[in-house]
Structure 1
Amino acid sequence: MKVENLFREKRPVISFEIFPPKRDTELKNIDGTLEILSRLNPDFISVTFGAGGSATNNKTIALAKKIKQEYGITPIVHLTCLNYSKNEMDELLAELKENEIENVLALRGDRNPDIEPKKEFHYATDLVKYIKAHGDFDVCGACYPEGHTEAESIVADIQHLKEKVDAGATHLISQLFFDNNIFYSFQEKTKLAGINVPIEAGIMPVINKAQIERMVTLCGASLPEKFQCMMNKYENDKDALFDAGIAYAVNQIVDLLAHDVDGIHIYTMNNTKVAERICKGIENLI
Protein backbone atom coordinates (compact mmCIF):
# COMPACT_ATOMS: atom_id res chain seq x y z
CA MET A 1 0.00 0.00 0.00
CA LYS A 2 1.11 3.54 -0.68
CA VAL A 3 1.62 5.45 2.54
CA GLU A 4 -0.26 8.47 1.22
CA ASN A 5 -3.36 6.24 1.24
CA LEU A 6 -2.76 5.28 4.87
CA PHE A 7 -3.18 8.91 5.84
CA ARG A 8 -6.49 9.00 3.97
CA GLU A 9 -7.75 5.95 5.86
CA LYS A 10 -6.70 6.80 9.41
CA ARG A 11 -5.15 9.41 11.67
CA PRO A 12 -2.89 9.24 13.52
CA VAL A 13 -0.52 7.00 11.61
CA ILE A 14 2.02 5.21 13.82
CA SER A 15 5.32 4.15 12.28
CA PHE A 16 8.80 2.94 13.20
CA GLU A 17 12.25 3.60 11.78
CA ILE A 18 14.94 0.93 11.76
CA PHE A 19 18.39 0.66 10.19
CA PRO A 20 19.91 -2.23 8.22
CA PRO A 21 22.64 -4.29 9.87
CA LYS A 22 26.18 -3.81 8.64
CA ARG A 23 26.85 -7.49 7.97
CA ASP A 24 24.93 -10.00 5.86
CA THR A 25 24.92 -12.44 8.76
CA GLU A 26 23.18 -9.86 10.94
CA LEU A 27 20.50 -9.37 8.29
CA LYS A 28 19.56 -13.01 8.75
CA ASN A 29 19.32 -12.49 12.52
CA ILE A 30 17.05 -9.43 12.39
CA ASP A 31 13.92 -11.55 12.29
CA GLY A 32 13.62 -11.46 16.07
CA THR A 33 13.45 -7.67 15.97
CA LEU A 34 10.93 -7.65 13.13
CA GLU A 35 8.79 -10.28 14.82
CA ILE A 36 8.40 -8.10 17.91
CA LEU A 37 7.87 -4.89 15.94
CA SER A 38 5.24 -6.55 13.75
CA ARG A 39 3.22 -7.53 16.84
CA LEU A 40 2.99 -3.83 17.69
CA ASN A 41 1.06 -3.27 14.43
CA PRO A 42 2.83 -0.23 12.97
CA ASP A 43 1.24 1.30 9.89
CA PHE A 44 4.62 1.27 8.17
CA ILE A 45 8.31 0.81 8.88
CA SER A 46 10.96 3.01 7.28
CA VAL A 47 14.44 1.63 6.61
CA THR A 48 17.41 3.98 6.62
CA PHE A 49 19.84 3.98 3.71
CA GLY A 50 22.62 1.46 4.38
CA ALA A 51 26.17 1.22 3.20
CA GLY A 52 26.67 0.27 -0.42
CA GLY A 53 24.46 2.15 -2.82
CA SER A 54 24.07 -0.18 -5.79
CA ALA A 55 20.98 -2.23 -6.40
CA THR A 56 22.97 -5.44 -6.00
CA ASN A 57 24.37 -4.91 -2.51
CA ASN A 58 22.19 -2.39 -0.70
CA LYS A 59 20.92 -3.90 2.55
CA THR A 60 18.20 -1.27 2.82
CA ILE A 61 16.25 -2.81 -0.04
CA ALA A 62 16.86 -6.35 1.21
CA LEU A 63 15.46 -5.44 4.63
CA ALA A 64 12.48 -3.61 3.15
CA LYS A 65 11.74 -6.67 1.01
CA LYS A 66 11.77 -8.85 4.13
CA ILE A 67 9.43 -6.45 5.98
CA LYS A 68 6.95 -6.51 3.11
CA GLN A 69 7.06 -10.13 2.04
CA GLU A 70 7.59 -11.95 5.34
CA TYR A 71 5.78 -9.68 7.81
CA GLY A 72 3.12 -8.04 5.66
CA ILE A 73 4.03 -4.51 6.76
CA THR A 74 4.36 -1.58 4.37
CA PRO A 75 7.99 -0.44 4.10
CA ILE A 76 9.40 2.96 3.19
CA VAL A 77 12.91 2.86 1.74
CA HIS A 78 15.19 5.82 2.44
CA LEU A 79 17.15 6.92 -0.62
CA THR A 80 19.93 9.52 -0.48
CA CYS A 81 21.17 11.18 -3.64
CA LEU A 82 24.12 13.51 -3.03
CA ASN A 83 26.76 10.86 -3.69
CA TYR A 84 24.90 8.92 -6.40
CA SER A 85 24.56 9.34 -10.14
CA LYS A 86 21.31 9.10 -12.06
CA ASN A 87 22.42 5.74 -13.46
CA GLU A 88 22.97 4.43 -9.94
CA MET A 89 19.60 5.79 -8.88
CA ASP A 90 18.01 4.03 -11.86
CA GLU A 91 19.46 0.74 -10.54
CA LEU A 92 17.95 1.34 -7.11
CA LEU A 93 14.54 2.30 -8.49
CA ALA A 94 14.55 -0.75 -10.76
CA GLU A 95 15.25 -2.97 -7.74
CA LEU A 96 12.38 -1.35 -5.84
CA LYS A 97 10.00 -1.92 -8.77
CA GLU A 98 11.10 -5.54 -9.08
CA ASN A 99 10.23 -6.14 -5.43
CA GLU A 100 7.00 -4.11 -5.61
CA ILE A 101 8.23 -1.60 -3.05
CA GLU A 102 6.39 1.62 -3.83
CA ASN A 103 7.24 4.00 -0.97
CA VAL A 104 10.41 6.10 -0.82
CA LEU A 105 11.73 8.71 1.60
CA ALA A 106 13.78 11.02 -0.62
CA LEU A 107 16.79 12.58 1.13
CA ARG A 108 19.80 14.56 0.04
CA GLY A 109 22.09 12.76 2.48
CA ASP A 110 24.86 14.12 4.68
CA ARG A 111 27.92 15.68 3.15
CA ASN A 112 31.06 13.60 3.58
CA PRO A 113 34.31 15.60 3.36
CA ASP A 114 36.09 12.46 2.15
CA ILE A 115 33.69 11.83 -0.73
CA GLU A 116 33.22 14.14 -3.70
CA PRO A 117 29.49 14.50 -4.52
CA LYS A 118 28.40 13.29 -7.94
CA LYS A 119 26.70 16.67 -8.56
CA GLU A 120 23.81 15.16 -10.51
CA PHE A 121 21.48 15.69 -7.56
CA HIS A 122 22.00 18.73 -5.37
CA TYR A 123 18.95 18.65 -3.08
CA ALA A 124 16.26 16.25 -1.94
CA THR A 125 13.80 18.14 -4.14
CA ASP A 126 15.83 17.08 -7.19
CA LEU A 127 15.47 13.46 -6.10
CA VAL A 128 11.72 13.83 -5.50
CA LYS A 129 11.27 15.11 -9.05
CA TYR A 130 13.43 12.34 -10.49
CA ILE A 131 11.62 9.55 -8.65
CA LYS A 132 8.19 10.87 -9.63
CA ALA A 133 9.30 10.96 -13.26
CA HIS A 134 10.68 7.42 -13.21
CA GLY A 135 7.96 5.29 -11.69
CA ASP A 136 4.70 5.09 -9.82
CA PHE A 137 6.21 5.71 -6.38
CA ASP A 138 4.77 7.42 -3.35
CA VAL A 139 7.46 9.85 -2.21
CA CYS A 140 7.86 11.13 1.34
CA GLY A 141 10.11 13.99 2.43
CA ALA A 142 11.94 14.99 5.57
CA CYS A 143 11.26 18.22 7.43
CA TYR A 144 13.02 20.06 10.22
CA PRO A 145 10.94 21.77 12.94
CA GLU A 146 13.91 23.92 13.96
CA GLY A 147 15.20 24.37 10.43
CA HIS A 148 17.88 22.43 8.56
CA THR A 149 21.34 23.09 9.95
CA GLU A 150 22.47 24.47 6.57
CA ALA A 151 19.41 26.68 5.98
CA GLU A 152 19.76 30.45 6.09
CA SER A 153 16.66 30.70 8.28
CA ILE A 154 13.55 28.77 9.24
CA VAL A 155 11.61 30.85 6.71
CA ALA A 156 14.02 29.90 3.90
CA ASP A 157 13.92 26.27 4.99
CA ILE A 158 10.11 26.18 4.84
CA GLN A 159 10.22 27.78 1.39
CA HIS A 160 12.48 24.94 0.25
CA LEU A 161 10.11 22.47 1.93
CA LYS A 162 7.23 23.92 -0.10
CA GLU A 163 9.28 23.30 -3.25
CA LYS A 164 9.77 19.68 -2.15
CA VAL A 165 6.03 19.21 -1.64
CA ASP A 166 5.24 20.91 -4.95
CA ALA A 167 7.70 18.52 -6.61
CA GLY A 168 5.61 15.56 -5.45
CA ALA A 169 6.24 14.73 -1.79
CA THR A 170 2.86 13.54 -0.48
CA HIS A 171 3.70 13.50 3.22
CA LEU A 172 6.53 14.53 5.56
CA ILE A 173 8.40 13.00 8.50
CA SER A 174 9.99 15.41 10.94
CA GLN A 175 13.47 15.34 12.36
CA LEU A 176 13.60 14.58 16.09
CA PHE A 177 12.67 17.33 18.54
CA PHE A 178 12.23 17.50 22.31
CA ASP A 179 9.97 20.54 22.69
CA ASN A 180 6.46 20.10 21.30
CA ASN A 181 5.88 23.85 21.15
CA ILE A 182 8.60 24.04 18.51
CA PHE A 183 6.72 21.45 16.45
CA TYR A 184 3.38 23.28 16.82
CA SER A 185 4.99 26.54 15.74
CA PHE A 186 6.49 24.73 12.74
CA GLN A 187 3.07 23.35 11.81
CA GLU A 188 1.61 26.85 11.78
CA LYS A 189 4.44 28.14 9.59
CA THR A 190 3.95 25.32 7.09
CA LYS A 191 0.23 26.04 6.86
CA LEU A 192 0.94 29.69 6.20
CA ALA A 193 3.35 28.63 3.45
CA GLY A 194 0.62 26.57 1.78
CA ILE A 195 1.98 23.17 2.77
CA ASN A 196 -1.06 20.98 3.32
CA VAL A 197 0.32 17.42 3.30
CA PRO A 198 0.35 15.25 6.46
CA ILE A 199 3.32 15.77 8.78
CA GLU A 200 4.43 12.99 11.10
CA ALA A 201 6.19 13.99 14.31
CA GLY A 202 9.53 12.22 14.68
CA ILE A 203 10.21 11.07 18.25
CA MET A 204 13.53 9.70 19.49
CA PRO A 205 13.45 8.31 23.03
CA VAL A 206 16.45 9.11 25.23
CA ILE A 207 18.14 5.96 26.44
CA ASN A 208 21.79 6.98 26.12
CA LYS A 209 23.07 10.48 26.87
CA ALA A 210 26.13 10.30 24.60
CA GLN A 211 24.01 9.07 21.69
CA ILE A 212 21.48 11.85 22.07
CA GLU A 213 24.17 14.51 22.38
CA ARG A 214 25.74 13.23 19.14
CA MET A 215 22.39 13.29 17.35
CA VAL A 216 21.62 16.78 18.59
CA THR A 217 25.00 17.98 17.34
CA LEU A 218 24.25 16.54 13.91
CA CYS A 219 20.68 17.79 13.53
CA GLY A 220 20.69 20.94 15.67
CA ALA A 221 17.74 20.06 17.92
CA SER A 222 17.50 22.18 21.06
CA LEU A 223 17.24 20.66 24.53
CA PRO A 224 14.58 22.06 26.91
CA GLU A 225 15.66 22.66 30.50
CA LYS A 226 13.55 19.79 31.85
CA PHE A 227 15.10 17.45 29.30
CA GLN A 228 18.63 18.47 30.30
CA CYS A 229 17.77 18.06 33.97
CA MET A 230 16.57 14.54 33.28
CA MET A 231 19.75 13.58 31.44
CA ASN A 232 22.00 15.14 34.07
CA LYS A 233 20.18 13.46 36.94
CA TYR A 234 20.17 9.96 35.49
CA GLU A 235 23.19 9.92 33.17
CA ASN A 236 25.11 7.53 35.44
CA ASP A 237 22.17 5.18 36.03
CA LYS A 238 21.47 3.25 32.84
CA ASP A 239 18.16 1.77 33.95
CA ALA A 240 16.85 5.02 35.41
CA LEU A 241 17.78 6.97 32.27
CA PHE A 242 15.99 4.39 30.14
CA ASP A 243 12.81 4.66 32.22
CA ALA A 244 12.97 8.47 32.36
CA GLY A 245 13.66 8.70 28.63
CA ILE A 246 10.71 6.49 27.76
CA ALA A 247 8.46 8.49 30.10
CA TYR A 248 9.57 11.74 28.43
CA ALA A 249 8.86 10.35 24.96
CA VAL A 250 5.46 9.00 26.00
CA ASN A 251 4.53 12.39 27.48
CA GLN A 252 5.57 14.07 24.24
CA ILE A 253 3.43 11.68 22.22
CA VAL A 254 0.40 12.01 24.50
CA ASP A 255 0.52 15.78 24.08
CA LEU A 256 0.98 15.47 20.30
CA LEU A 257 -1.99 13.12 20.04
CA ALA A 258 -4.10 15.54 22.09
CA HIS A 259 -3.24 18.16 19.46
CA ASP A 260 -4.42 15.83 16.65
CA VAL A 261 -1.03 15.29 15.06
CA ASP A 262 -1.15 13.47 11.71
CA GLY A 263 1.19 10.74 12.86
CA ILE A 264 3.97 9.61 15.18
CA HIS A 265 7.23 8.27 13.75
CA ILE A 266 9.32 6.49 16.39
CA TYR A 267 13.08 6.29 15.90
CA THR A 268 13.49 2.84 17.47
CA MET A 269 17.28 2.50 17.00
CA ASN A 270 16.44 -1.20 16.42
CA ASN A 271 15.64 -1.46 20.13
CA THR A 272 12.45 -3.46 20.53
CA LYS A 273 12.15 -2.59 24.22
CA VAL A 274 11.88 1.08 23.26
CA ALA A 275 9.10 0.40 20.77
CA GLU A 276 7.25 -1.93 23.15
CA ARG A 277 7.33 0.45 26.11
CA ILE A 278 6.18 3.44 24.05
CA CYS A 279 3.36 1.53 22.36
CA LYS A 280 2.25 0.23 25.76
CA GLY A 281 2.19 3.79 27.07
CA ILE A 282 -0.13 5.04 24.32
CA GLU A 283 -2.12 1.92 23.46
CA ASN A 284 -5.42 3.35 24.73
CA LEU A 285 -4.97 6.65 22.85
CA ILE A 286 -4.76 5.42 19.25
Structure 2
Amino acid sequence: MPLQYSFEITPNIDQVNLDGLLKLNPEFISITDRNHDMDNLLQSIQIADYIHANSSVDVIIHLTGIDKDEKRVQEMIDLMQQHDIHSVLALRGDKLSQNDTAVTFPHADRLVEFIKQQYPHVHISGTCYLNSSDEEMKWLRQKIEKGCTNLISQFSFDVNDYVGYLNQIQIDTPIWFGIMPVISKSQAQKMLELTHSTAPAELSALMNQNEDEFGEKGVQYTEGMINKIRQAGANHIHLYSLNNAENTEKIINTI
Protein backbone atom coordinates (compact mmCIF):
# COMPACT_ATOMS: atom_id res chain seq x y z
CA MET A 1 0.00 0.00 0.00
CA PRO A 2 1.44 3.43 -0.94
CA LEU A 3 2.13 5.90 1.82
CA GLN A 4 -0.71 8.27 2.70
CA TYR A 5 -0.10 11.46 4.63
CA SER A 6 -2.10 14.15 6.40
CA PHE A 7 -1.29 17.43 8.12
CA GLU A 8 -2.19 19.21 11.34
CA ILE A 9 -2.52 23.00 11.43
CA THR A 10 -3.67 25.66 13.87
CA PRO A 11 -6.27 28.31 12.94
CA ASN A 12 -3.71 31.13 12.90
CA ILE A 13 -2.11 29.77 9.73
CA ASP A 14 -1.68 32.35 6.96
CA GLN A 15 -3.06 31.88 3.47
CA VAL A 16 0.33 31.42 1.81
CA ASN A 17 1.22 28.44 4.01
CA LEU A 18 -2.28 26.99 3.82
CA ASP A 19 -2.21 27.16 0.02
CA GLY A 20 1.22 25.53 0.08
CA LEU A 21 -0.02 22.65 2.19
CA LEU A 22 -3.11 22.15 0.01
CA LYS A 23 -0.88 21.85 -3.07
CA LEU A 24 0.69 18.77 -1.47
CA ASN A 25 -2.70 16.98 -1.64
CA PRO A 26 -2.90 15.42 1.84
CA GLU A 27 -5.64 12.92 2.64
CA PHE A 28 -6.95 15.34 5.25
CA ILE A 29 -6.03 18.36 7.32
CA SER A 30 -6.86 18.46 11.02
CA ILE A 31 -7.41 21.81 12.70
CA THR A 32 -6.53 22.14 16.35
CA ASP A 33 -6.68 24.83 19.00
CA ARG A 34 -5.90 24.87 22.70
CA ASN A 35 -8.97 26.97 23.51
CA HIS A 36 -11.92 24.84 22.49
CA ASP A 37 -14.69 27.43 22.78
CA MET A 38 -17.20 28.59 20.18
CA ASP A 39 -15.11 31.60 19.06
CA ASN A 40 -12.17 29.35 18.26
CA LEU A 41 -14.45 26.90 16.48
CA LEU A 42 -15.67 29.74 14.25
CA GLN A 43 -12.05 30.50 13.41
CA SER A 44 -11.43 26.85 12.51
CA ILE A 45 -14.59 26.77 10.41
CA GLN A 46 -13.35 29.76 8.38
CA ILE A 47 -10.24 27.74 7.56
CA ALA A 48 -12.36 24.69 6.71
CA ASP A 49 -14.55 26.77 4.39
CA TYR A 50 -11.44 27.96 2.57
CA ILE A 51 -10.10 24.41 2.26
CA HIS A 52 -13.42 23.16 0.87
CA ALA A 53 -13.61 26.04 -1.61
CA ASN A 54 -10.06 25.55 -2.91
CA SER A 55 -9.42 21.80 -2.75
CA SER A 56 -10.91 18.34 -2.33
CA VAL A 57 -9.03 17.81 0.96
CA ASP A 58 -11.12 16.56 3.89
CA VAL A 59 -11.13 18.52 7.16
CA ILE A 60 -11.12 17.13 10.69
CA ILE A 61 -11.95 19.44 13.60
CA HIS A 62 -10.52 18.70 17.06
CA LEU A 63 -13.24 18.46 19.72
CA THR A 64 -12.55 18.07 23.44
CA GLY A 65 -15.11 16.66 25.85
CA ILE A 66 -13.85 17.39 29.35
CA ASP A 67 -14.75 21.09 29.12
CA LYS A 68 -18.22 20.63 27.56
CA ASP A 69 -21.64 19.24 28.33
CA GLU A 70 -23.89 17.45 25.84
CA LYS A 71 -25.65 20.65 24.76
CA ARG A 72 -22.40 22.40 23.87
CA VAL A 73 -21.10 19.38 21.92
CA GLN A 74 -24.33 19.31 19.94
CA GLU A 75 -24.17 23.06 19.26
CA MET A 76 -20.64 22.73 17.94
CA ILE A 77 -21.26 19.69 15.76
CA ASP A 78 -24.49 21.22 14.41
CA LEU A 79 -22.46 24.26 13.36
CA MET A 80 -19.86 22.05 11.73
CA GLN A 81 -22.59 20.25 9.81
CA GLN A 82 -23.84 23.56 8.42
CA HIS A 83 -20.39 24.04 6.92
CA ASP A 84 -20.14 20.53 5.47
CA ILE A 85 -17.68 19.31 8.12
CA HIS A 86 -18.42 15.69 8.91
CA SER A 87 -15.21 14.55 10.63
CA VAL A 88 -14.03 15.18 14.20
CA LEU A 89 -11.09 14.16 16.34
CA ALA A 90 -12.68 13.26 19.68
CA LEU A 91 -10.38 14.09 22.59
CA ARG A 92 -10.74 14.09 26.33
CA GLY A 93 -8.76 17.32 26.70
CA ASP A 94 -6.63 18.53 29.58
CA LYS A 95 -8.03 17.97 33.05
CA LEU A 96 -9.79 20.98 34.53
CA SER A 97 -9.03 20.08 38.15
CA GLN A 98 -8.09 17.18 40.38
CA ASN A 99 -11.79 16.40 40.83
CA ASP A 100 -13.54 15.79 37.52
CA THR A 101 -16.42 13.71 38.86
CA ALA A 102 -18.99 16.24 37.62
CA VAL A 103 -17.61 16.29 34.07
CA THR A 104 -19.95 14.93 31.39
CA PHE A 105 -17.18 13.38 29.28
CA PRO A 106 -14.30 12.41 31.62
CA HIS A 107 -12.85 10.07 28.97
CA ALA A 108 -12.78 10.27 25.20
CA ASP A 109 -14.69 7.01 24.79
CA ARG A 110 -17.81 8.64 26.27
CA LEU A 111 -17.51 11.53 23.84
CA VAL A 112 -17.10 9.07 20.96
CA GLU A 113 -20.19 7.17 22.11
CA PHE A 114 -22.31 10.31 22.42
CA ILE A 115 -21.31 11.64 19.00
CA LYS A 116 -21.96 8.28 17.35
CA GLN A 117 -25.41 8.04 18.92
CA GLN A 118 -26.44 11.57 18.01
CA TYR A 119 -24.63 11.85 14.65
CA PRO A 120 -24.18 8.35 13.22
CA HIS A 121 -22.91 9.71 9.88
CA VAL A 122 -20.03 11.70 11.44
CA HIS A 123 -16.57 10.18 11.02
CA ILE A 124 -14.83 9.97 14.39
CA SER A 125 -11.07 9.82 14.82
CA GLY A 126 -9.33 9.26 18.14
CA THR A 127 -5.84 9.43 19.58
CA CYS A 128 -3.52 6.64 20.62
CA TYR A 129 -0.33 6.67 22.66
CA LEU A 130 3.03 5.12 21.87
CA ASN A 131 4.42 2.99 24.72
CA SER A 132 0.82 2.43 25.90
CA SER A 133 0.13 0.92 29.28
CA ASP A 134 -2.51 -1.79 29.69
CA GLU A 135 -4.85 0.90 31.02
CA GLU A 136 -4.35 3.09 27.94
CA MET A 137 -4.92 0.11 25.65
CA LYS A 138 -8.19 -0.57 27.47
CA TRP A 139 -9.43 2.97 26.78
CA LEU A 140 -8.29 2.68 23.17
CA ARG A 141 -10.29 -0.50 22.60
CA GLN A 142 -13.34 1.13 24.17
CA LYS A 143 -13.07 4.12 21.84
CA ILE A 144 -12.97 1.77 18.86
CA GLU A 145 -15.90 -0.30 20.13
CA LYS A 146 -17.98 2.85 20.58
CA GLY A 147 -17.45 4.20 17.09
CA CYS A 148 -13.92 5.49 16.54
CA THR A 149 -12.82 4.37 13.05
CA ASN A 150 -9.51 6.21 12.68
CA LEU A 151 -6.56 6.84 15.01
CA ILE A 152 -3.83 9.48 15.18
CA SER A 153 -0.85 8.71 17.39
CA GLN A 154 1.07 11.01 19.66
CA PHE A 155 4.52 11.99 18.38
CA SER A 156 7.97 10.92 19.47
CA PHE A 157 11.49 11.83 18.37
CA ASP A 158 12.60 8.20 18.81
CA VAL A 159 11.74 5.95 15.88
CA ASN A 160 11.94 2.90 18.17
CA ASP A 161 8.75 4.08 19.90
CA TYR A 162 6.84 3.81 16.62
CA VAL A 163 8.34 0.47 15.66
CA GLY A 164 7.62 -0.92 19.12
CA TYR A 165 4.00 0.22 18.91
CA LEU A 166 3.57 -1.39 15.49
CA ASN A 167 4.79 -4.66 16.99
CA GLN A 168 2.57 -4.25 20.08
CA ILE A 169 -0.73 -3.11 18.62
CA GLN A 170 -3.33 -5.74 17.81
CA ILE A 171 -6.14 -3.77 16.18
CA ASP A 172 -7.24 -3.34 12.58
CA THR A 173 -8.22 0.34 12.87
CA PRO A 174 -6.03 2.53 10.62
CA ILE A 175 -3.37 4.44 12.55
CA TRP A 176 -1.93 7.73 11.32
CA PHE A 177 1.43 8.02 13.03
CA GLY A 178 2.01 11.55 14.29
CA ILE A 179 5.37 13.03 13.33
CA MET A 180 6.70 16.28 14.79
CA PRO A 181 9.23 17.66 12.27
CA VAL A 182 12.61 18.62 13.69
CA ILE A 183 12.77 22.14 12.28
CA SER A 184 14.97 24.05 14.70
CA LYS A 185 17.11 23.37 17.74
CA SER A 186 14.97 25.55 20.01
CA GLN A 187 11.74 23.99 18.77
CA ALA A 188 13.06 20.46 19.28
CA GLN A 189 14.24 21.31 22.80
CA LYS A 190 10.86 22.83 23.64
CA MET A 191 9.02 19.71 22.45
CA LEU A 192 11.37 17.40 24.35
CA GLU A 193 10.68 19.36 27.54
CA LEU A 194 6.94 19.45 26.86
CA THR A 195 6.78 15.67 26.50
CA HIS A 196 9.34 14.98 29.26
CA SER A 197 11.34 13.01 26.69
CA THR A 198 15.03 12.25 26.31
CA ALA A 199 16.53 12.81 22.87
CA PRO A 200 17.79 9.62 21.21
CA ALA A 201 21.51 9.52 20.44
CA GLU A 202 21.25 10.74 16.84
CA LEU A 203 19.08 13.72 17.77
CA SER A 204 21.18 14.46 20.83
CA ALA A 205 24.25 14.78 18.59
CA LEU A 206 22.28 17.06 16.30
CA MET A 207 21.30 19.25 19.25
CA ASN A 208 24.98 20.00 19.89
CA GLN A 209 25.24 21.88 16.60
CA ASN A 210 24.66 25.59 16.14
CA GLU A 211 21.12 26.75 15.37
CA ASP A 212 22.05 27.99 11.90
CA GLU A 213 23.43 24.53 10.99
CA PHE A 214 20.44 22.69 12.36
CA GLY A 215 17.63 23.28 9.86
CA GLU A 216 18.43 21.04 6.91
CA LYS A 217 19.85 18.28 9.09
CA GLY A 218 16.71 18.40 11.21
CA VAL A 219 14.57 17.89 8.12
CA GLN A 220 16.80 14.96 7.14
CA TYR A 221 16.37 13.49 10.63
CA THR A 222 12.59 13.70 10.23
CA GLU A 223 12.74 12.11 6.78
CA GLY A 224 14.86 9.26 8.16
CA MET A 225 12.35 8.59 10.94
CA ILE A 226 9.45 8.41 8.51
CA ASN A 227 11.28 6.05 6.16
CA LYS A 228 12.14 3.71 9.05
CA ILE A 229 8.52 3.74 10.23
CA ARG A 230 7.40 2.89 6.70
CA GLN A 231 9.87 0.00 6.57
CA ALA A 232 8.33 -1.30 9.81
CA GLY A 233 4.92 -1.47 8.13
CA ALA A 234 3.21 1.91 8.65
CA ASN A 235 1.17 3.25 5.73
CA HIS A 236 -0.21 6.48 7.21
CA ILE A 237 1.76 9.51 8.40
CA HIS A 238 0.26 12.57 10.14
CA LEU A 239 2.67 15.52 10.03
CA TYR A 240 2.39 18.29 12.57
CA SER A 241 3.06 20.93 9.94
CA LEU A 242 3.71 23.79 12.39
CA ASN A 243 1.90 25.91 9.77
CA ASN A 244 5.03 25.75 7.62
CA ALA A 245 4.42 24.61 4.05
CA GLU A 246 8.04 24.92 2.90
CA ASN A 247 9.49 22.50 5.45
CA THR A 248 6.53 20.16 5.09
CA GLU A 249 7.07 20.02 1.33
CA LYS A 250 10.76 19.21 1.81
CA ILE A 251 9.80 16.22 3.94
CA ILE A 252 7.00 14.99 1.67
CA ASN A 253 9.15 15.21 -1.46
CA THR A 254 11.77 12.85 -0.05
CA ILE A 255 9.66 10.07 1.47
Shared fold (TM-score, shorter chain, > 0.5):
yes
Describe how 1:204-215 pairs up with structure 2 within 5 A: 204-215=180-191
Q: Does the 8 A contact of 1:145 with 1:183 survive in 2? A: yes
**If the length of structure 2 is used for normalisation, what is the TM-score?**
0.90
**Corresponding residue SS for 2:216:** helix
In structure 2, C-alpha distance between the alignment counterparts of 1:130 and 1:219, rounded to whole Å: 30
Equivalent residue letter for 2:60: I
Unmatched tracts of structure 1, length 5 or more: 1-9, 22-28, 148-153
In structure 1, C-alpha distance between the alignment counterparts of 2:102 and 2:196, rounded to whole Å: 26
Equivalent residue letter for 2:45: I
Describe how 1:2-81 pairs up with structure 2 within 5 A: 11-21=2-12, 30-49=14-33, 51=35, 53-54=37-38, 58-81=42-65
In structure 1, C-alpha distance between the alignment counterparts of 2:229 and 2:129, rounded to whole Å: 16
Please, which moves more after superposition, 223-232 or 136-145? 223-232
Match of 2:212 in 1: 239
CA RMSD of the aligned region, Å?
Answer: 2.4
Unmatched tracts of structure 2, length 5 or more: none
Q: Does the 8 A contact of 2:131 with 2:164 survive in 1? A: no
Q: 2:104 aligns with which of 120, 131, 137?
A: 120
In structure 2, C-alpha distance between the alignment counterparts of 1:224 and 1:267, rounded to whole Å: 20
**Corresponding residue SS for 1:49:** coil
In structure 2, C-alpha distance between the alignment counterparts of 1:78 and 1:212, rounded to whole Å: 24
Q: 1:109 aligns with which of 77, 82, 93?
A: 93
In structure 2, C-alpha distance between the alignment counterparts of 1:267 and 1:118, rounded to whole Å: 33
Match of 1:198 in 2: 174
Match of 2:149 in 1: 170
Distance apart, 1:239 and its partner CA: 3.3
CA deviations on 1:5-64 (whole Å, 9 max, x unpaired) are xxxxx643211110011xxxxxxx722112111111111111113535127853222222
In structure 2, C-alpha distance between the alignment counterparts of 1:172 and 1:232, rounded to whole Å: 35
Distance apart, 1:271 and its partner CA: 1.1
Q: Percent identity?
A: 31
Q: Does the 8 A contact of 1:55 with 1:91 survive in 2? A: no
Change (3 A) 1:220 1:144: farther
In structure 2, C-alpha distance between the alignment counterparts of 1:99 and 1:172, rounded to whole Å: 23
Distance apart, 1:247 and its partner CA: 0.5
In structure 2, C-alpha distance between the alignment counterparts of 1:58 and 1:111, rounded to whole Å: 23
In structure 1, C-alpha distance between the alignment counterparts of 2:191 and 2:221, rounded to whole Å: 17
**If the length of structure 1 is used for normalisation, what is the TM-score?**
0.81
Please, which moves more after superposition, 94-103 or 206-215? 206-215
Change (3 A) 1:117 1:246: farther
Q: Report the number of matched residues.
A: 254
